[in-house]
A and B are shown apart, each in its own frame.
Chain A
Amino acid sequence: MAKEKNHTGDSWEDLALPEYFPEPCTEERAEEEDTEEAAKDSAVKCSPTLLRMLKAAESRWTPRDRDKAEPSELGRKVSEAEALKTNMQIQLNDQQEEFNKLPTKAGPRPLSHSVSQLSADSFSSVGSVSSEDESPPQKKPQKTSKGLTDFCVKNIKQAAFGRKGIDIAQQEMPALMILRKRAGGEKPLAGAKVVGCTHITAQTAVLIETLTALGAQCRWAACNIFSTQNAVAAALAEGGISVFAWKGESEDDFLWCIDRCVAADAWEPNLILDDGGDLTQWIYKKYPSLFKKLKGIVEESVTGIYRLYQLSKAGKLCVPAMNVNDSVTKQKFDNIYCCKESILDGLKRTTDVMFGGKQVVVCGYGEVGKGCCAALKGLGAIIYVTEVDPICALQACMDGIRVITLSEVIRHADMVITCTGNKNVVTREHFDRMRSGCIVCNMGHSNTEIDLASLRTTELKWHRVRPQVDHIIWPDGKRVVLLAEGRLLNLSCSTVPSFVLSVTAATQALALIELYNAPAGRYKQDVYLLPKKMDEYVASLHLPMFDAHVTELTDEQAQYLGISKHGPFKPNYYRY
């Protein structure tokens, strides 16, 4: 994981803060609180700060919880069916007492339980570990009610509770449930052996169980040492899926889990679902022979895709890979729509600022910048944009936004929002010239956009006024409000809606189906984008949420346009 930070400088930082910003005491405290909270999140005792954090966390988690809620009837039917198969009931019987206890523990959890997990490759970790249990899960032999031992989770007894989480998630992921229903009869993944490495959360669980329902056999590991929801992992294991994951793995544990996933007796994967590229890397290093049987890799994160492209460039990629990250729907949802909402949410939560008439500088007018500007403009803020790309700058002009350089307006700005993906966009020099009370935050790709290092000097005082909110005080008394210590505001201070995660999960599932069922030769040893038709299918799976009615082409019209009645409707270069 540490490697990856270097690669894309991606949001990983948001997770592994500890080593990352050792200097400021405030921060460390925060992190400690984080872990603490994570560890004992069931008990809502602690300090007010913790409470607030919990609340923040809650919000993050809610998406998942909502997701959990999604599975709803459809999902439930399926999961019940599965449960029957796996004798889940039996387990319940065995441990009725345990079961009864769970709710109490669980009670507060579903709230505090919201892992904010960006569908790309980041998350903020507030997990669900019952900290009493100190023995490392590797060493603990556990059994599901069915007698399965090929898994490794914190505590299999949490399964029932995890199941509830998954059920909730199912309600918010109708697309996957529709997919189960539509494709369930055919089992398009029958015979597929999927080894996966993603965040293990209720939402992912819905995905995994969808894959299972479509006929695949799955083995799963976590792509992040903090993001796993233990109860969900337990529920998956109980459901008969070989899961190797718990919250708070060590680096060693992490690789051990991956290894256990891959190196199973008499089981060789033929599909990989990866998030971050660690799994692919491991197989590539340790079990290169497995690639012979592989039908393809589906990769979700920016980092992982970067690695795949490097492999492909070096001519070392020997199976087709599917780049899910750059599919139209996912891009639009991860960036423009998601950020449009979270910029307001994040700023309100942290600062309670009023936007009307405020002068806001948005650095960068890409998808994220467009979303932020639209949202802020809607609330009556006065917006300036800084851009390096003339095309995007021209778009900003046409949208009625002044394009300037940051130094020109920095004195007047009430808020500075960075979304460039670049580094040191806001420098110490800018900071020195800001007016008092200016809010600085980052919506971009990593924590490099704001030059924080330059603020760690002796003459400046840091005051943590709330979780994720620091006042930096100049000797003359000027204060600058820094949010989330320059890390991603949308991950740290607001939630990722399940709907967004649902888009990602549906895309992944379809990518797997496509790779598995593609006739030999359609995909060579290269990195591909999801075919447009699949992209359109993902979108159409989500339309019922809006009660949207898509018009159908008549035969005559389809002929006139020269396209199929069922899509794809647009040429590949279409920009949406």
Chain B
Amino acid sequence: MSETAGDAKPEVKQASKEVKESENVAEKYSAMTVSKNSEINMGELSSVLSAVPTHKPVKKQIQFVEEKQEFSRFPTKTGRRSLSRSISQSSTDSYSSAASYTDSSDDETSPRDKTQVNSKGSSDFCVKNIKQAEFGRREIEIAEQDMSALISLRKRAQSEKPLAGAKIVGCTHITAQTAVLIETLVALGAQCRWTACNIYSTQNEVAAALAERGVAAFAWKGESEDDFWWCIDRCVNTEGWQANMILDDGGDLTHWVYKKYPNVFKKIRGIVEESVTGVHRLYQLSKAGKLCVPAMNVNDSVTKQKFDNLYCCRESILDGLKRTTDVMFGGKQVVVCGYGEVGKGCSAALKALGAVVYVTEIDPICALQACMDGFRVVKLNEVIRLVDIIITCTGNKNVVTRDQLDRMKNGCIVCNMGHSNTEIDVASLRTPELTWERVRSQVDHVIWPDGKRVILLAEGRLLNLSCSTVPTFVLSITATTQALALIELYNAPEGRYKQDVYLLPKKMDEYVASLHLATFDAHLTELTDEQAKYLGLNKNGPFKPNYYRY
């Protein structure tokens, strides 16, 4: 807590300060831990429900498998696809898989039993079908266009090869966007072995393309639990190759290494963890004194937080509601539960469209912010009879109860933008007197005996994941942050990072942001020497003290 001479402190110390707060973090996160399984189920469900765009390609894929000459046809197909293709994958630990239409369902043999060889003769990988590689390459190229930050990182750092000698074992969603990240790491000198952090989210053709390029990828869509661990094991356990870096999403890989190959940790220089869940696990380890390498918490970096929450939700709340209900916002009375980053984004977006917005809050500071931003702060019970739309973004549980659902007016829309599916007490609606009617995918009408209807979206799961897309730009922020975290950990001088969980140094955060400014054609002003001296800053940053709130 003591903020001593903010700016002057070296980064290391600042980082360690963050760690002091780790207890809080852990406590906080314990609230958010969502069991991985439930997320998976959810993803599965939503993929089924939102499967609209996926049908066609599934069949087509079969042809590709056999015929290379088909290749010439790809452009037309991919052209269309890239539109319908938006995998909504939150950079945290959930996703909705509208993906992998490439899943050739007729191929029944498990990839584990199939020997495949890429064009260079390597067989150290395991994907659904290596022949899909060309197609996956196209996907990756499309993604590259939206991830200019990573591409420019490649260019800027290619000559130095900051990751030369790094042996990275990774466990993330395997999608075109991640592939861009992986290939960037390779371009920077690293050797990578990769596996999927989720049994459904893998894009088979992308995995094939990676394998073709010599990355040992072990992943396919629709793995079994057993396959999942087998893949991780294959990644870690190879002869003559020992990982020295871990890039994890969800903490499963770390967990596996920790359990099975504890001696691998001796060589590991650091863990980069992206998801809330995984970070929580790391903090627990660290608290228990069992963390024996430095870990980098990428999830809480400024840029990532702002993009995952504020900016992303600001857009997806409108997108999600429009897609599912075609509602018009002007003049509608909306109550937003919670005024954190997500709440701020939702409120701003709705206000801009002319909705009348109320806010409920428990934290007086956030409540005061809402007041100053011109929102009425109320209790839910006070306005429940009036409102047309209820949006929860508290991260809490049972924020909207059956009692409140009973008092809503006819046609009220209820949805959740928060952290898990607990915010709306959906269980209480599964009673015999209420009729559920599915009117569209992700849209249920819950009908009371007197005919009143309440419109429940995505069955109380996350609206932004189920009913709208995550822009590649957001994923690009995450991927760039991960890449820089790896570089930082790998190149940090001995002793800068101890066996603890760190936040990315501010300078790296600023670098991530600066890599993305080109997209907006934004021109950054440079400090003159004189100005830098006056401010007591380095000309190239970091520009803000660590406690700066942005």
Cβ of B71 under 8 Å from chain A: no
**Which residues of B sit under 8 angstroms from A404, Cβ to Cβ?**
522-523
Question: In angstroms, how far is the closest chain B Cβ from the Cβ of A202?
Answer: 24
Let me know if B382 and A549 touch, CB within 8 A: yes
Tell me if A569 and B362 are in contact (CB < 8 A).
yes
Closest to A338 in B: B372
B83 sits at the interface (CB 8 A): no
Closest Cβ of chain A to B310, distance in Å, is 8
Answer yes or no: A125 CB below 8 A from chain B CBs. no
B288 proximal to A (CB < 8 A): no
Categorize the interface residue count of chain A: 35 or more
Q: Which of chain B's residues has its CB closest to A422's CB?
A: B531
Interface flag for B396 (CB, 8 Å): yes
| Closest B residue by C-beta to A341 | B372
Instruction: List residues of chain A with CB within 8 A of the CB of B341.
Output: 575
Counting contact residues on chain B (CB < 8 A from A), the size range is 35 or more
Bound: A46/B523 CA distance, A? 50
Taking a contact as CB atoms under 8 Å apart, the answer to whether B523 and A546 are in contact is no
Q: How far, in whole Å, are A425 and B528 apart by their CA atoms in the complex?
A: 10
Chain A 372-395 against B: per-residue CB contact (8 Å), 1 yes, 0 no?
Answer: 000000000000001111111111
Query: A532-576: which have CB < 8 Å to B?
Result: 535-537, 539-540, 542-543, 546, 548-554, 556-557, 560-563, 567, 569-573, 575-576
Q: Is B258 an interface residue (CB 8 A)?
A: no
**Interface 9-residue window, one of A23-31, A86-94, A105-113, A322-330:** A322-330
Chain B CB count within 10 A is highest, among A337, A406, A537, A552, for A337
How far apart are the CA atoms of A395 and B305 in the complex, in Å? 12
Question: Which residue of the partner chain, among B307, B363, B370, B422, contacts A570 with CB atoms under 8 Å?
Answer: B363
Q: Judge whether B365 and A576 touch: CB under 8 Å.
A: yes
The answer to whether B513 touches A573, judged by C-beta atoms less than 8 angstroms apart, is: no
Task: Report the bound CA distance from A537 to B1 in whole Å.
Answer: 18
CB-based contact B396/A562 at 8 Å: no
Q: Which of A285-319 contact B (CB under 8 A)?
A: 309-310, 312-313
Neighbouring A residues of B530 by C-beta, 8 Å: 423-424
A390 in contact with B511 (CB, 8 Å)? yes
**CB <8 Å contact, B549 and A389:** no
Please, which residues of chain B bring their CB within 8 A of the CB of A560? 31, 396-397, 422
Could you tell me which residues of chain B, from 293 to 309, have a CB within 8 Å of some CB in chain A?
300, 302-303, 305-307
> A391-B302, A571-B21 are contacts. A576–B366 as well, Cβ < 8 Å?
yes
Which of B8, B371, B378 contacts A313, CB < 8 Å? B8
| Chain A: minimal CB distance from B423 (Å) | 10
Instruction: Flag whether B2 is at the interface (Cβ < 8 A).
Output: yes
Q: Confirm or deny: A434 has a beta carbon within 8 angstroms of a beta carbon on chain B.
A: no
Of A396, A424, A550, the residue contacting B364 (CB under 8 A) is A550
Identity of the chain B residue whose Cβ is nearest the Cβ of A539 in the assembled complex: B364
Query: B2: which of A528, A542, A543, A551 is its contact (CB, 8 Å)?
Result: A528
CA distance A197 to B532 in the complex (A): 33
24 contacts between A and B (CB under 8 A): A310-B5, A312-B5, A329-B368, A390-B517, A392-B543, A423-B530, A424-B530, A524-B2, A536-B364, A539-B364, A540-B367, A549-B379, A552-B362, A553-B362, A557-B398, A561-B28, A561-B396, A569-B366, A570-B28, A570-B363, A571-B27, A573-B503, A575-B302, A575-B549
Given contacts A531-B1, A548-B378, A562-B31, 11 further A-B contacts (CB under 8 A): A310-B5, A313-B8, A332-B369, A397-B519, A423-B531, A528-B2, A548-B370, A548-B371, A550-B364, A557-B399, A571-B24
Interface residues of A (CB under 8 A from B): 309-310, 312-313, 323, 326, 328-329, 331-333, 337, 363, 367, 386-398, 402-406, 408, 421-425, 448, 524, 526-529, 531, 535-537, 539-540, 542-543, 546, 548-554, 556-557, 560-563, 567, 569-573, 575-576
